[in-house]
Structure formats: structure tokens, C-alpha cells
Amino acid sequence: MAYKIDPAKPLDAQLRHVAIQQIDRAADTLSALGDDPHEAIHEARKRFKKLRGLIRLLRPADEQLYKSLNALFRDAAKGLSDVRDKAALVEAIDKLEAHFAGEVATDAFGPVRAKLTADRDKAMETSAAHQGEAVETALVNLAKAKTQMEGFVIGDGRRKVKREVQLIAEGMAQTYGRARKAHKTAKRSRQADDLHELRKRMKYHWMHLRLVSPLWPDGFEPAIKLAKAIADDLGDDHDYAVFRAGLTETPESFGDPQSLSVVLALMDRRQSELRQGSLDAARRLLIEREDAFEERIEGLYRHGAEIASRDTGMPAEAPDLAERRRASA
């Protein structure tokens, strides 16, 4: 099953299935790191992010389970982050160089890239000593999360489409509302931390749109692409902000001042483009009020369940026990 929810099937079963699939894939990746352990860890961390996005949809049904799972996934990913963060800076500088390659000579990037590559390689060497411990911790957390997720049911376990509609719409709307608030704050402050918060909220919103895309594939596709683009662009902006923060400690290690000033000038320009473009795009994507967005998801999910019941010939709402007893009498 893909990272999607089918309205034809019970929501709790769908959330269990998708979550356990992601947990198993993350565990398989970490159990067999292969020749490129850092790329494998990167893939596992992406699974953790998908899982943290997914479990936000079960939060209205079980707050305690959400908190427990979120802590397990967060802590598992945290121990695996150092090398990937260093590698992201190298990738960000490469993107910056490629972006301006047709406009300016990019020789100035050489010393900067060399320093960042050395930092990444050093982190790889350092991480090798404790990598096994971090991976083992992550695997233990995944096993705990799988056990908890296997026991997740909504209510008494009998399907009630009306309740499912309310839960998934509420879960998505909470994330959507937080994205709107983050956008408002970032638009006002233009500070790196606030823009990074917007990026995280947009990423969760993107994941949720992907999960419910079967409700309206053609309708959701443009929003999915836009949310992903915003999150990616703000991710680049965050990498540049991290680079600047590290630069203040040892600027001389990044090459001669003239070359570094060229890189920083281009970075200023690119960050300005990324920030303004992302804020404008997020404004379009988040134009609805939170309650209006929630109503739209409710309507689409209800409609999707109705279509599924017509196709299968089964009622969308499970009959209650009394009705079933009368029918069998």
C-alpha cells in the first residue's frame, strides 16, 4: 500500500496499515545499512518524518497514543541526525552554485565546498563510533511503536463513517491551522526560526494531502506539488541560515574573504528569492480559514466513502448491534 488512505476501508485499519508499513521499512533499512550507511540512515529519517505526519491524524482519537508515538519517532530520528545535517549543507551549496552557474563565475564556491565536505567527512568518521548504538536505539523505538500502533482502534472498533469523517478532518485541520499561524508569524518576522517552523508545518500538510489524495486525485495534485515545493525551498533557506550561523565561528576556514563575500552575496540573493516565493505560495495554498478547510475535508471524505459503498454494495456505516440482531431474527 502506498502512503495513502482509502475511504472504502475503516480509518483505524488504514492508519495501522500505513504506519506499520512505514515502521517495517524503516526497521529493514536500519537493519541492513549496506555500503552507504549514511544514505540508508537518510532514508530511515524520511520514514520517521512520514510517521510523525501520519500519527497527527490519529491524535483527535487518542491523544496519549499520539504523544507516545511522536516521542518514540522523534527520539529515534534525533540520534541519527548529525551526519545528515552536515551532508545537507554540502548539497545546499551545490544547489546555490548550480542556480547561479549561468550568471556568474562560481570559482568562489570551491573553498567553501571543500570546508563543508571536510566537516561532513569528519562527522561521518566520528559517527561511526556511536552509529551502532544510535541505530539500536532507533530499532528499539520502532519495535515499541509497532506494538502500540497494532493496538490502535477508533472507539469500540466498529466502523462509524461519521466519526471517521470528523476525526480525519479535525486532524488535518489542526495541522492546517498551525501552518496558517506559522505563515502569519514568518511573514511578519522574516526570521530564520519562524521560516523553519513554517517549513515543518508545510511538510506535515503536504503529507496529509498525500494521504487523502484518493478522495480527489486531480483536485489534490496541484496542492500536493505546491506544498512540497514550499517545504523544499524553505529547507534550502534553513540550510543557508545554518551555514551562516556556523560561519561566525571560523570564517577564515572557508577560504579567502573575497571568495567568501561572493558566496554570501549570492546566498543573500537566493534566500530573498526563496523566502518571498515561499511566503507568497503559502499564502495561496493556505487561503481558506481553518474551519472552511475542515468542512471541505469532511465533505470529500464523506463523499469518498459513499462512492466506495456504491462500488462495493456495502453500507458506508456499519449497522449497530441491535439492527443486526433484528435483521437476523
How confident is the model over 66-79, as pLDDT tens digits? Answer: 999 999 999 999 88
In order, the DSSP letters of 85-97 are: HHHHHHHHHHHHH
Residue 189 is assigned to a structural domain of this protein: yes
CA 192, 193, 196, 202 torsion-angle sign? negative
pLDDT of residue 3: 93
Residue 327 is assigned to a structural domain of this protein: no
Please report, for residues 120, 138, 162, 180, 278, the alpha-carbon distance to residue 144 in angstroms, rounded to integers and kept in the order given. Answer: 32, 10, 31, 33, 37
Q: What is the domain extent for residue 263?
A: 11-313
Q: Give the SS3 label for residue 159.
A: coil
- Identify the H or E element spanning 2: none
Residue 65 is assigned to a structural domain of this protein: yes
How confident is the model over 114-166, as pLDDT tens digits? Answer: 999 998 888 888 777 778 888 999 999 999 999 999 999 999 888 999 999 99
Mention every residue, 6+ apart, whose C-beta is less than 8 A from residue 289: none
Residue 24 is assigned to a structural domain of this protein: yes
pLDDT of residue 238: 97
pLDDT of residue 322: 39
- The whole-model pTM stands at 0.90
Residue 29 is assigned to a structural domain of this protein: yes
Residue 179 is assigned to a structural domain of this protein: yes
pLDDT of residue 206: 98
Contact predicate 274/236, CB 8 Å: yes
Q: Fill in the DSSP letter of residue 216.
A: S
Percent of the chain with pLDDT strictly greater than 90: 70
Residue 62 is assigned to a structural domain of this protein: yes
Number of domains in the chain: 1
- Domain at 270, CATH number: 1.40.20.10
Cβ burial 184-201 (10 Å sphere, 16+ → b, else e): eebbeeeebebbbbbbbb
Q: Which residues of the chain register pLDDT less than 50?
A: 319-329
pLDDT of residue 316: 56
Residue 183 is assigned to a structural domain of this protein: yes
pLDDT of residue 326: 43
